[in-house]
């Protein structure tokens, strides 16, 4: 997984693509697409944890792996000029760019917890999976609470 993310990052560098070259609407589309994919898989895991659908360890582990893989990707789409104040399609609050150190820290926490969830899910202990899912969800919510328009 790390090799794929690294390869994608290097390919962007090789093309000379800079944040200044990206149109705000495309950056928003990119990050929202990544979040939509993550949300698709996270909702299924949440339904399993809540008992709204049968718990399937194999399906859960696969979805946790996808979310862990995707979690570092959205950051690239947070370029200046893409807040909800500047582009109506955005859900990012303008304050996000003023508190970028906090945003990065919360993103790193989320990445750490999604990776832990994927590892725990592979082991198959349903109780441990459910506990880690709660920790992971809290890291997502922390950023949404502070930096996402509803």
Does residue 64 sit within a domain?
yes
Rounded CA-CA distance 57/87 in Å is 40
**86 is in which domain, residue-wise?**
23-147
Q: Which residues of 22-32 are buried (b: 16+ CB within 10 A; e: fewer)?
A: bebeebbebbb
pLDDT of the residue at 6: 41
3 located within any domain? no
**Scanning the structure block, which residue is given the tokens 């697409």?**
33
Per the domain annotation, does 5 fall within a domain? no
Reported as a single tens digit per residue, the pLDDT across 44-79 is 999 999 999 999 999 999 999 999 999 999 999 999
CATH value at residue 106: 1.20.120.10
Whether residue 140 is contained in a domain is answered as: yes
d(CA 113, CA 137): 9
Cα 45 to Cα 51: distance, rounded to the nearest angstrom: 10
**Does some domain include residue 129?**
yes
5 DSSP 8-state letter: H
Q: What pLDDT, in 10s, does the model give residues 84-132? A: 999 988 999 999 999 999 999 999 999 999 999 999 999 999 999 999 9
Look at residue 2 and tell me if it is in a domain. Answer: no
Structural domain count of the chain: 1
């Amino acid at each position: 997984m790390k090799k794929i993310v690294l390869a994608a990052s290097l390919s962007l560098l090789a093309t000379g693509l800079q944040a200044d070259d990206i149109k705000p609407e495309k950056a928003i589309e990119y990050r929202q697409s990544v979040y939509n994919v993550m949300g698709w898989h996270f909702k299924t895991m949440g339904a399993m944890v809540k008992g709204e659908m049968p718990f399937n360890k194999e399906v859960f582990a696969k979805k946790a792996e996808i979310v862990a893989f995707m979690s570092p990707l959205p950051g690239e789409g947070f370029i200046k000029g893409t807040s909800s104040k500047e582009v109506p399609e955005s859900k990012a609050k303008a304050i996000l760019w003023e508190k970028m150190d906090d945003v990065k820290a919360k993103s790193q926490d989320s990445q750490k917890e999604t990776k832990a969830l994927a590892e725990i899910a592979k082991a198959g202990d349903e109780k441990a999976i459910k506990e880690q899912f709660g920790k992971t969800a809290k890291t997502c919510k922390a950023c949404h609470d502070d930096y996402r328009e509803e």
